[in-house]
């Protein structure tokens, strides 16, 4: 997978202001407002910035946290995890491995009945669903 590297100006032209704020400035969309929070459609969730496959609908689950939740990425190299010490907390940030865009955070050990006990809490605005035909 080839890395996607663009200048801030190039990202600003490609992305909407909200997409830029979340994907490139590590923002967060308000809870329960994203288009994929309650989506049940089958398909592949790709990075809205570069199109890389990130998650599949088969790993999406109801966490009732306000953002789409997945229990694992679609591949071992789909995302990168980075320690995030912002806002007085220690969390694990999830970024697209291909373009380094901010997607959300991953939380572990919360007791969800999933195979991994992980919750990839991802901003809808960071994703684009390619529905199965």
Pick the CATH number of 8-131 from 2.170.150.20, 3.50.50.60, 3.30.1300.10, 2.40.50.320: 2.170.150.20
Catalytic residue selected from 47, 96, 99, 121 = 121
Active site residue 121: yes
- 97, 78 Cβ separation under 8 angstroms: yes
Alpha helix ranges (H) inside 1-133: 8-14, 17-23
Nearest-angstrom CA–CA distance, 117 and 37: 19
Instruction: Read off the pLDDT of residues 36-56 as tens digits, 9 standing for 90 and up.
Output: 999 999 999 999 999 999 999
Instruction: Read off the pLDDT of residues 11-21 as tens digits, 9 standing for 90 and up.
Output: 999 999 999 99
pTM: 0.93
- 95, 80 Cβ separation under 8 angstroms: yes
């Amino acid at each position: 997978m080839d890395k996607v590297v663009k200048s801030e100006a190039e990202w600003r032209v490609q992305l909407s202001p909200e997409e830029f704020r979340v994907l490139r400035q590590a923002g967060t969309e308000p809870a329960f407002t994203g288009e994929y929070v309650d989506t049940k459609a089958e398909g592949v969730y790709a990075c809205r910035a570069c199109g890389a496959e990130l998650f599949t609908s088969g790993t999406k689950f109801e966490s009732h946290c306000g953002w789409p939740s997945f229990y694992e990425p679609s591949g071992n190299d789909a995302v990168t995890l980075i320690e995030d010490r912002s806002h007085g907390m220690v969390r694990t940030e999830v970024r697209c491995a291909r373009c380094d865009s901010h997607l959300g955070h991953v939380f572990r050990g919360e007791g969800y009945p999933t195979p991994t006990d992980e919750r990839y809490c991802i901003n809808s605005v960071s994703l684009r669903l390619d529905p199965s035909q």
